[in-house]
Amino acid sequence: MYVIGADPGKTGSIVLVEFDISESRVKDTIVFGKEYSLDDVEPLSLALKEMIKGKNIEAVYVEDVHSMPLQGVASTFEFGRQYGMLLSFLRMSGFDVQLISPQQWQRPFKHVAPPSLSTKKRTKKAFEFWDCGDEKQIETVMDSYFIGLGGWLRDSGCYFKRGSTSTLPFPKVRR
């Protein structure tokens, strides 16, 4: 089964996740910034077509974001522009995009990479759980992976109850 998770923003990413009940694998990634930009959709579109070729995509999840109090007007506007372009790009690519709030996708993974930790510390924590790549790669795609998997857990009814100490049914992440 394949799911796509997308973390919006200039340094976000799109991640293709293949998973079953025993493990999940990051099959492919598109990282925004250096190689791909939402301002230039042709290379991004080609990369996405290559990523999904021959695969049955179960669902596409994008973080449902909003502006934060006390953020600058210019940065909020730029982030909103990037977010809108990502949603438009995925929808125009034929996907039924599902939005998932940060609270929803982070809940099942709090024991792996608590959102209260800094990005660096979350990456180090996730690195212990992750069975692939290097810390920089994980930092770049970690949230997209968790957004996709968290969305699927939410929609499939596999969510853990509030306060549960159960471990995830996906013990290892492989590339």
pLDDT tens digits, one per residue of 54-81: 999 999 999 998 766 776 777 777 777 7
Assign domain 2-174 to its CATH superfamily: Ribonuclease H-like superfamily/Ribonuclease H (3.30.420.10)
pLDDT at 167: 43
Sheet with 13-19, edge to edge strand ranges: 97-100, 57-63, 2-7, 13-19, 23-31, 172-174
Intervals of the chain under pLDDT 50: 160-175
CB atoms within 10 A of CB 132: 13
Residue showing tokens 């301002």:
39
Query: Distances from the Cα of 131 to the Cαs of 119, 134, 138, 173, 175, in angstroms?
Result: 19, 9, 10, 5, 8
31-38 contacts, C-beta under 8 A, 24 or more apart: 31/140, 31/141, 32/82, 38/82, 38/85, 38/86, 38/89
- Give this prediction's pTM: 0.79
